[in-house]
Amino acid sequence: MSDLPWKHIPPWNETGMQVCYNANLIFISCFTGHKPFVDDFMSVFLCKCLFCCLKGPDLIEKANGLHGFMNWKRNLLTDSGGFQMVSLVELSEVTEEGVKFRSPYDGKEILLSPEKSISIQNSLGSDIMMQLDDVVSSTVTGPRVEEAMHRSVRWLDRCIAANKNRDKQNLFAIIQGGLNAELRKACLDEMTKRDVPGFAIGGLSGGEEKDDFWQMVTLSTDHLPREKPRYLMGVGYAVDLVVCVALGCDMFDCVFPTRTARFGSALVPWGTLQVKHKQYAKDFQPIDPDCQCPTCKKHSRAYLHALFKSDTAAMHHITIHNIAYQLTLMRSVRESIVEGRFPEFIRTFMKRLFPSGDQYPSWAVDALASVNVTLD
């Protein structure tokens, strides 16, 4: 794997689907002057579909890539655009050539081929970029899953051949195969034959049963090289993060912290705090008294409750807190691993989230037991 310019593999990648709004708001509001969070926020995941559909990457290229355009002096990870096959399925058509879809902005037809995806990501200059894969929902079954798996392997080869910046940009393969163990194994066997710097586990976290989810994660990590990063895509719930680290995953991304903030849900070590509920109208504590984020240092629950009724700024403040929560959680996970106390960290984390103990999700108990971690 090419050295990341800011040294670390990022365990949490914040997802900026609408780059100009979400990402820049967070950068300006949260990170300026708050070094602990800057140090933890080692990577930002950006969906380049917005640039592709609008003016293309030319403007970004003139700024010497996204780092210069955004003045972001840490790592950047860009998506290939493949996820839009699921999220914009009514607009898309998948062929061997690539993905054809109509721009949701101007209605023009766009062909996103593996070569085009890599060309754009080369222009954006991200530190980690993803192959274009044939994405199907995890709940899809039948021949379409096999077709997508084999096509993803073929597209990986085309992405590798198209990459002009192999010494500077790390191209990750994306494992597909849905919930079919044989297809996922076949994809793992083929993709691990390719000399790529890292692997993503795709095709999960799309509404499948949790037992199916963790078993496919385990199957994937069991067959991936230990010396290369394993990136589990689309996972952001706190329990899922902690359990999947135990199962062997290194990196994660999800819109969950920002999406849930829009509904007034603040992430806390004991679950979620619904700021808009009337019980917080006269509560002058911060969201989490132990949190060091700008929101918790400056604003009370009562203030955010009042603000939520009439001003979108409340969502912004909660977004900042939620991202800080994710960063703090992943920092604690890393520290516990380095210090050799990760199993104990898991038990403490789960006990605080589920105080009675008998409420532990059965899937999490089974998943942790598979790697010899008990919650008793």
> Between β-strands 128-130 and 75-78, what pairing exists: parallel, antiparallel or unpaired?
parallel
Residue of 94, 130, 127 whose CA lies nearest to 112: 94
Q: Which of 133, 250, 253, 288 is catalytic?
A: 253
Identify the active-site residue in 79, 127, 133, 250. Answer: 79
Q: Is 366 a catalytic residue?
A: no
For 85, 183, 241, 246, 350, the CA distances from 371, given in Å and listed in that order, are 34, 24, 15, 7, 16
For residue 86, what are the contacts with CB-CB under 8 A and spacing of at least 6?
A: 135, 136, 137, 206
Q: Determine whether 253 is an active site residue.
A: yes
d(CA 300, CA 268): 14
User: For residue 169, what are the contacts with CB-CB under 8 A and spacing of at least 6?
Assistant: 2, 121, 122, 125, 126, 127, 128, 129, 163
The two beta strands, 12-16 and 43-46, are parallel
**DSSP-assigned letters across all residues of 162-210:** H-S-TTT-EEEEEE--TT-HHHHHHHHHHHTTS--SEEEE-S-SSS--H
The torsion angle over the Cα atoms of residues 67, 70, 72 and 77, rounded to 10 degrees, is: -60
- Residues tagged active-site: 79, 253
